[in-house]
Amino acid sequence: MTYEFSVMTQKQAENIAFNWHYEGEYSFYNMEADEEDLTEFLNPEERGNSTFSVTIENELVAFLSFSKVAHRTCDIGLGMRPDLTGQGNGTEFLRAGINFIQSEFKPEKITLSVATFNQRAIKLYRKVGFKDVETFMQDTNGSTFEFLKMEYKC
């Protein structure tokens, strides 16, 4: 599969925000679960040129966002369409995302944070080469949750 990355349109943001609903504990990742995150995701000025739609043959399958947090470090957030999760698509998608970030922004490292209950994602990130950095508590979705910060050296 060839993943294509393009700056997210408003229509795509609204599709993801209101139509992508995850099952069970993964509903934590529904955009509507946190009003602040939803507002930010739907605001074109907040997304700017740092949130990308990921398509295969013009079909929206995922998204990837990034921010530069320090000299030569990109922090990323990503999500795959719910019906495509848990089917072995993550490795190829994550590697394509890393390649895209490396080719476009030339970071020395890529970081991400993941809720510690999400062992499926943590296993994937470790498989691709991310290393554990630290755990921390973060207020989101109306409560406080433990997250794991991970790092990939380019």
What are 35-51's pLDDT values in tens digits? 999 999 999 999 999 99
Return the pLDDT at 142. Answer: 85
Is the confidence at residue 68, as pLDDT, over 90?
no
Is the confidence at residue 1, as pLDDT, over 80?
no
Residue 5's closest CA among 66, 83, 67?
Answer: 66
What are 89-126's pLDDT values in tens digits? 999 999 999 999 999 989 999 999 999 999 999 999 99
CATH number of the domain within which 36 lies: 3.40.630.30
* Residues spanned by the domain of 48: 4-153
Return the pLDDT at 59. Answer: 97
Question: Per the structure, how many domains does the chain have?
Answer: 1
Instruction: For the chain, give the percent of residues with pLDDT over 90.
Output: 93
pTM: 0.93
